[in-house]
Amino acid sequence: MSDPLLSATDLTKTFGGITAVDGASLTVDEGDIVGLIGPNGAGKSTTFDLLTGFLDPDAGTVHFDGEDVTDLPPEERASRGMVRTFQMSRELTGMKVRENVRLGLQDHPGETALASLLRTGAAADAETAAGDRAEALLKRLDLWELRDEYAGNLSGGQRKLLELARAFVTDPDLLLLDEPMAGVNPSLTDDLLEFIRELRGEGTTFLIVEHDIDVIMSISDEIVGMHNGDVLTTGTPAEVRQDEALLEAYLGGAV
Ligand SMILES: Nc1ncnc2c1ncn2[C@@H]1O[C@H](COP(=O)(O)OP(=O)(O)O)[C@@H](O)[C@H]1O
Ligand SMILES: [Mg+2]
């Protein structure tokens, strides 16, 4: 078996007296869609912050693609192919939709077709490729008609989609999505799931936090269940459905 693409070991993070993440360990295998679940306050978003470098852990390590990235800043992890979205969207409201998506490319020049084109000096081709990818994404996410709209004028769900487009356009190796469906029009949810499956088919690996248990069970190869800052269970969706401790944590937690 090859090494996991992402591996976190004994991550811990406290805020004042609150231990948000308490010795959590998890792995994500290349090519998988892994669902990270747990009740509100379980530590999922903080774990994302630790994995992606937006927070420094008090203890523990993060390995990505065979290297220790624990001390690397978020932009360095992104440039190595680890890209995330936030539970609360962080699009730039004073910029147009298409400018926001372009910004994704500037932020995260990952190991993409685009990057290799740039290295060969075919900058014009790279520009076209990037433009094509951005256009295809905006169309796919129903944002093309809104491309010249300011992001600040979009609905909450549309902003979420814009943030996804900005992450997808970088063609990352690993995408960490924090509640990507929250606030998105239900008519788009199925399409978004299908799109995630397609991207996985093209080689992208996913770690996804999703509140809707049926949605996350339907799309994931592996489930990691968190409770009180620690990983309580891991397994296939079918295995986790049998896990009484996790179900109890869900039912007993402040969902
Ligand atoms: N910046 C922070 N300051 C203080 N407490 C925090 C901070 N971020 C998260 N927490 C606390 O850490 C715990 C885990 O939060 P979080 O990681 O957001 O959980 P989840 O995403 O699973 O709902 C919660 O008790 C939350 O209130
Ligand atoms: Mg959260």
Positive/negative CA dihedral, 202, 45, 255, 226: positive
Examine the pLDDT at 120 and tell me if it is beyond 70: no
* Residue 31 backbone dihedrals phi, psi, to 5 degrees: 90, -5
Q: Which pTM was predicted?
A: 0.86
| CA 145 to ligand 1 centroid distance, Å | 37
Residue with tokens 């399409």: 191
Q: Ligand 1 pocket check: which of 19, 37, 46 to mutate, most ligand atoms within 8 Å of Cβ?
A: 46
CA 97 vs CA 92, 141, 252: distances in Å: 9, 12, 41
The per-residue pLDDT for range 66-85, each reduced to its tens digit, is 999 999 999 899 989 999 88
The per-residue pLDDT for range 143-172, each reduced to its tens digit, is 999 999 999 998 888 888 888 888 888 889
Question: CA 171, CA 35: separation in Å to the nearest integer?
Answer: 20
Residues 212, 237, 40, CA angle at the centre, nearest 5°?
Answer: 35
Cβ(46) to ligand 1 under 6 A?
A: yes
DSSP state of 3: P
- From the centroid of its chain, how far is CA 47? 12
Cβ(154) to ligand 1 under 6 A?
A: no
